[in-house]
Chain A
Amino acid sequence: MQNNRSIAFNCIIAYICFCGVLPLASASVFSSGATWSNRGWKCSYATDVTPDASVRIYSDVIHSDGGDQPVFHRIFVDPSTNAYFGYDIMVQVTDRRAHTAAVRLLPLTLTVDQVREALTKFIVGHPGRNIGLSQEVLAALRVARMPRLSPATFSSGQTLALNVMENSATGQKVTDYIKVSWDPEPWMLETGDVIAPPRRDLKVTDMTFHVVGGIELRINGQQIKRAIVADDTFDSKLLEISVAGYGRFLLSLDPRSTLGFQQLGEVRGRTISFAKGNDHFELRTTREFVPVFGVWNLYVLSRPLSELPSAAIDFWYAPVSDVSDDLK
């Protein structure tokens, strides 16, 4: 009998964890992804709803390549009403060598037929996957109210937020987080989509952290809430972790001792761990951080972090392309 009581108690605890804690702890992001233009420009997005709710709106990013000025198109489709809306993200390259660009947000320029064509391609290319969009939905596709966008120009690499939907009666709000950056993939060297750099020997400085599907952070065993991050899948030589109340850390596989990096931890499979003072940091992702067998030294540069006085304990991560930029 005692055993049964214990089991019942455990089941109740498990139920509370499963039904209550996990959904609350999980991010309210209901859609995220990225696409690349032919010139190596990447547009990543994450869309969240607050308060957390089940959302059946299909969200995607597609692109049109107009020479050196790619345009990304963010699209939201409600399959229950066959309606869609969206906006354009225009990338105007400002410095080809530094890979910087101006980013402007404009009304969606795609026609209904173009949206239908793009989404049909996806459905045909991924048979058997339920994305909520049927041929019937696409055939009846129509434009919902298109939003006006306040004219503004931003820089590549910045994470932008757009409040794209809301319900004033319930207080629910959908925020779209986007980021445009020059982040070419290795396969682009085969297709000629990007200009290949001169051939040379591989060095340790070429090794990158491989992040797939975001990062979880534990400090001294306690899980830290993750702030909304638009780009949760990337390769980067430097990884920035900013934790409210703890500081800002640049992680590197390369010693970079002249820049003040210290060997404070290790990379082991899907886990990065390091210690700073009395605090132990552990980061996890869904794939190996370094896809080479071995346990690797981790070099860390810690920096102070300015934050809002009321900032909650959460963390932010991002790829960093150039350490000199970051140390300015």
Chain B
Amino acid sequence: MNPLSENQLDYLLAKAKHDQRVPSDELFKSALSKYQTQFTRRPQGPRIAFRTSTPAVALITALILVVGVFLGRVSWTTSSHSSKAPTLTVKETGSCASQGAGPVMPPTGLGFAELIPAKEITPYIVRGQKYAKQ
């Protein structure tokens, strides 16, 4: 049996799929052969641009992480900045909604010793100061 052209093969496979039928053994073998051939060609694609095992890269990466941790800029604490706080209710009945995943507290940071609760609070309206309607 002559090998099928790609167009013939695609057509038959599509038709078989459409008709919910399994292609005959010969067609299936031919299709398998085609796709195996394609598969074996894939590794011949573009070469990876750089080698991650280069000692200089490893050294620089380690340096970045060490310096970053020392400077406190690479840390787990920033995750709390985007976290959503939980919601609670004091009442015994009814329901309340919860929004987001809840906060994750940083292991270190400022507390009331550094950020002193205000003696007196004067609330003010934010909206309208900068973005007042005309």
Chain A residues at the B interface, C-beta cutoff of 8 Å: 3-4, 6-8, 11-12, 14-15, 18-20, 23, 26-36, 38, 45, 49, 53-65, 73, 76, 78-81, 83, 85, 87, 105, 110, 114, 117-119, 121-122, 126, 129-133, 144-150, 152, 154, 158-167, 170, 172, 174, 177, 185, 187-188, 191, 193, 213, 227-228, 230, 233, 242, 244, 248, 303-308, 311, 316, 318, 326
Chain B residues at the A interface, C-beta cutoff of 8 Å: 50, 54, 56-57, 60-61, 64, 67-68, 71-75, 77-78, 80-91, 94-97, 99-100, 102-127, 129-134
Question: Is B103 in contact with A131, judged by CB distance below 8 angstroms?
Answer: yes
Q: How far is the CB of A114 from chain B (nearest CB, A)?
A: 6
Question: Is A4 in contact with B57, judged by CB distance below 8 angstroms?
Answer: yes
Question: Is A244 in contact with B130, judged by CB distance below 8 angstroms?
Answer: yes
Q: Which residues of B contact A146 (CB under 8 A)?
A: 117
Q: How far is the CA of A78 from the CA of B106 in the complex (A)?
A: 12
**Could you jot down 5 A-B contacts, CB within 8 Å?**
A23-B73, A32-B85, A55-B109, A149-B120, A166-B118
Nearest B residue to A310 by beta-carbon distance? Answer: B130
Nearest A residue to B85 by beta-carbon distance? Answer: A33
Question: Is A62 in contact with B88, judged by CB distance below 8 angstroms?
Answer: yes
Question: Is A33 in contact with B121, judged by CB distance below 8 angstroms?
Answer: no
Question: Is B126 in contact with A177, judged by CB distance below 8 angstroms?
Answer: yes
Interface of B is mostly: loop
Q: How far is the CB of A213 from chain B (nearest CB, A)?
A: 7
Q: How far is the CA of A167 from the CA of B114 in the complex (A)?
A: 6
Q: How far is the CB of A50 from chain B (nearest CB, A)?
A: 11
Q: Which residues of B contact A149 (CB under 8 A)?
A: 120-123
Known: A36-B96, A160-B126, A161-B126. A19 touches B71 (CB 8 A): yes
Question: Is B102 in contact with A126, judged by CB distance below 8 angstroms?
Answer: yes
Question: Is B95 in contact with A110, judged by CB distance below 8 angstroms?
Answer: no
Question: Is A62 in contact with B123, judged by CB distance below 8 angstroms?
Answer: no
Q: A132-B103, A150-B120 given. 17 additional CB < 8 A pairs?
A: A7-B56, A7-B57, A8-B57, A19-B71, A32-B83, A55-B106, A56-B110, A57-B111, A63-B89, A105-B121, A121-B89, A129-B104, A154-B125, A158-B126, A165-B118, A305-B134, A316-B130
Q: How far is the CA of A132 from the CA of B120 in the complex (A)?
A: 27
Nearest A residue to B57 by beta-carbon distance? Answer: A7
Nearest B residue to A61 by beta-carbon distance? Answer: B87
Question: Is A130 in contact with B120, judged by CB distance below 8 angstroms?
Answer: no
Question: Is B117 in contact with A165, judged by CB distance below 8 angstroms?
Answer: yes
Q: How far is the CB of B107 from chain A (nearest CB, A)?
A: 8
Nearest A residue to B55 by beta-carbon distance? Answer: A4
Q: Which residues of A contact B107 (CB under 8 A)?
A: 56
Q: How far is the CA of A131 from the CA of B102 in the complex (A)?
A: 8
Q: How far is the CA of A229 from the CA of B72 in the complex (A)?
A: 27
Question: Is A49 in contact with B115, judged by CB distance below 8 angstroms?
Answer: yes
Question: Is A58 in contact with B89, judged by CB distance below 8 angstroms?
Answer: no
Q: Which residues of A contact B75 (CB under 8 A)?
A: 54
Question: Is A63 in contact with B118, judged by CB distance below 8 angstroms?
Answer: no
Q: Which residues of B contact A227 (CB under 8 A)?
A: 130
Question: Is A57 in contact with B90, judged by CB distance below 8 angstroms?
Answer: no
Q: Which residues of A contact B124 (CB under 8 A)?
A: 160-161
Question: Is A32 in contact with B130, judged by CB distance below 8 angstroms?
Answer: no
